[in-house]
Amino acid sequence: MKVSELLKPEFIVPNLKGETKEDIINELIDLFKNDPRVEDIEKVKTAVLDREKVMSTGVGKGFAIPHGKTNAVKEIIGAFGKVKEGIEYDALDGNPVQLIFLLVGKDNLISTHIKLLSRISRLMNKDDFRHRLTEADSADEIIKLFNEEEEHFLEL
């Protein structure tokens, strides 16, 4: 599965409003409130926030990848958002986070979940790609950037 297949305009927020890590995570999860693939939004929130308590998903370089696994979803879902000024996220490098990619997997799809986490991490490890994402103003532009970067990534 490609990262770009997860992202749809309705699951991208170019300017998240939350002021705390938990606010931002909830704002992204709330995008799925009326999504038929989500059976229990509160269980999704619990899975992601419980995972966050184990260790911060702020991996550094202004990027975080909050994630969790739960049978409250019928399939893997993902969302992406940006915080213009960055927020305190308890990131591993101690820096604020601007780019947040939420990934929620189903308990029995562990292999796909891990592959997607790895792919997202590799994409987001590229300084130029992260910079272009921070400059993007719309959901469509963000999707286009992910599509282009992933196509380039697959050519390697």
For residue 74, what is the domain's CATH number? Answer: 3.40.930.10
Cβ atoms 103, 113 nearer than 8 A: yes
DSSP-derived secondary structure for 109-147: -HHHHHHHHHHHHHHHT-HHHHHHHHH--SHHHHHHHHH
Which helix (H) or strand (E) is 154 found in, with range?
A: helix 139-155
- What is the value of pTM for the model shown? 0.93
Range of the domain at 102: 3-155
User: 8-60: per-residue pLDDT in tens?
Assistant: 999 999 999 999 999 999 999 999 999 999 999 999 999 999 999 998 889 89
Single-letter residue type at 56: S
User: 67-96: per-residue pLDDT in tens?
Assistant: 999 999 999 999 999 998 899 999 989 999
Residue among 67, 113, 131, 152 flagged as catalytic: 67
Structure-token match 């990848």, residue found? 65
Tell me, what's the pLDDT at 112?
Answer: 76
Provide the number of structural domains found in the chain: 1
Our answer to whether residue 113 is catalytic in this structure is no
